[in-house]
Structure 1
């Protein structure tokens, strides 16, 4: 199955972000991708953190959800919609949610980011919990590709990458990691964490990132990539908008797990 990690440099215009996402998703379709993954905050990187609350949608209703559903149906793609803000019972906090749509435009999975990022290096700080409400439930779904092969797909978002116990709970064949890693943390840890999650779970990892300088002054690391179950980076892009494409091989995945049955050897 061919897959695509979509890299963007989203800004503060919802309309422009959705237009760019559609263009990149169409590129993914043209190269034969069946599953495309958008980055975290693909629909908005606002001037202020509270801008997320201004566009937070009611689950099942809203511009961004309509865009994802309509585009999945139009292009015949499985689309993992990066993240978008969804309203919660707390008007001061939204869920940072990944919604997955099948090629018929149906929403088949929702995951609310569990681990909320907080960082301070003495000069600049960032605390997602100020405007986001943490999710509680690990989420995975089944995807049957055009060849009839079934894949278990696990959902995670950005900072989740630092918590390996989540990925054990997912027990997935493919793990999705939409992200907006800061330049500082991405440069230090992004690739090594992605490869570690692939190796220890013997799973493919599709990491779709924000990558560049945004109009709010924030700089994200980028380096969207697809990693195989042996930890090999199959394809990647450093910065800027683009489509990172790779072929996932079910027989290879099964062979890795058969040759080194580490998942069967777990004791804890």
Structure 2
């Protein structure tokens, strides 16, 4: 069990609907990480940008990107995660995969499809929230629009880290900043948001604002907006236990019966 967890957060531009070019771009960024890390986090739909053109972009779970991720996880001896468009049994999913150095794969399908962009018309919504175990840390991975729904992200099973991968546009970036901080505070968990930068094929602008928050909602990263950059953050288990034991806020949470 590791008291600390070293995480590389990659805030990057994405080439519109071009998986091969995005893999090459990310090859350079991943290979540039010289420090030993436990986990690398990529943005939402990191092979394409936030596209509704699932038919042309979708891969399978045996496709090139999954193999590429497994190769990096093995070579870097760390886990790697992000979401991509997956075709499975005739349905399209905005699917996050978490791949460990051993090749073990855990997946999460985005629960809250973004109706404003018509995502619900193209992608099948997930129905299962997950908490995975990795190096003694309990981790809950979610995707973009899920951030607006606190009951879904609620810390009912004692996770240590909540993270969101995203393509969150500039006009609503103040909500992104506020909600990431709120999720950290209310769940007494580290909370990480990984957002892309640049313009997509529909001319929507993404300003980054990736962020890492501790259990009190303090920002502990140095990300700059509108800039491609990779930052390595060390999370400490002692920090979580110190404030949970001292404050006990999670003991007073309300109970919900969540229906999906």
TM-score > 0.5, shorter chain as reference: yes
Question: What is residue 36 of structure 1 aligned with on the other side?
Answer: 40
Q: Which residue of 1 aligns with 2:24?
A: 19
* Cα contact 1:154–1:170 (8 A) shared by 2: no
Assess if the C-alpha contact under 8 Å between 1:184 and 1:221 holds in 2. Answer: no
In structure 1, the residue matched to 2:241 is: 254
> Do the aligned partners of residues 31 and 129 (structure 1) sit closer, same or farther apart at CA in structure 2, a change above 3 Å counting?
same
Q: Secondary structure at the match of 1:212?
A: strand
Secondary structure of the structure 2 residue equivalent to 1:165: coil
Aligned residue among 184, 190, 193 for 1:207: 193
Change in CA separation of 1:74 and 1:219 when aligned onto 2, cut-off 3 Å: same
State the Cα distance separating 1:215 from its structure 2 match. Answer: 4.6
Q: Structure 1 residue 83 and structure 2 residue 83: aligned?
A: yes
Give, in whole Å, the separation in 1 of the partners of 2:25 and 2:151: 34
C-alpha separation between the residues in 2 aligned to 1:230 and 1:26?
Answer: 33
Out of 203, 222, 226, the residue aligned to residue 239 of structure 1 is 226
Matches within 5 A, 1:1-268: 1-12=5-16, 13-28=18-33, 30-45=34-49, 49-50=52-53, 52-59=54-61, 61-80=62-81, 82-89=82-89, 91=90, 93-107=91-105, 109-119=106-116, 126-144=117-135, 150-168=136-154, 169=156, 171-186=158-173, 188-235=174-221, 236-268=223-255
TM-score, L = length of structure 2: 0.90
Structure 2 unmatched ranges of 5 or more: 256-260
Structure 1 SS opposite 2:230: strand
Structure 1 length-normalised TM: 0.87
Asked if the contact 2:49–2:167 (Cα under 8 Å) also holds between the matched residues in 1, the reply is no
- Please give the per-residue CA displacement for 1:185-207, whole angstroms capped at 9, x wherever unaligned: 12x20111000000110111121
Across the aligned residues of Structure 1 and Structure 2, the Cα RMSD in angstroms comes to 1.6
SS in structure 2 opposite 1:256? helix
Question: Within 2, Cα distance between the matches of 1:63 and 1:88?
Answer: 15
Counterpart-to-counterpart distance in 2, 1:26 and 1:153:
25
Matched residue pairs, number?
248
Q: Which ranges of structure 1 fall in alignment gaps of 5 or more residues?
A: 120-125, 145-149
Which whole-Å CA distance do the structure 2 matches of 1:190 and 1:257 have between them?
Answer: 25
After superposition, what is the alpha-carbon deviation per residue over 1:26-50, rounded to whole angstroms, capped at 9, x for unaligned? Answer: 233x13321111000111127x621
**Residues of 2 paired with 1:198 and 1:191: CA distance?**
11
Query: Is contact 1:198–1:230 with CA below 8 Å preserved after alignment?
Result: yes
| Cα-to-partner distance string for 1:102-126 (whole Å, 9 max, x where unaligned) | 122331x10000001123xxxxxx2
Paired residue secondary structure (2:70) = helix
| Aligned counterparts of 1:26 and 1:184: Cα–Cα separation in 2 | 33
Could you tell me how far 1:158 is from its partner in structure 2?
0.3
Contact 1:224/1:244 (CA < 8 Å) preserved in 2?
no
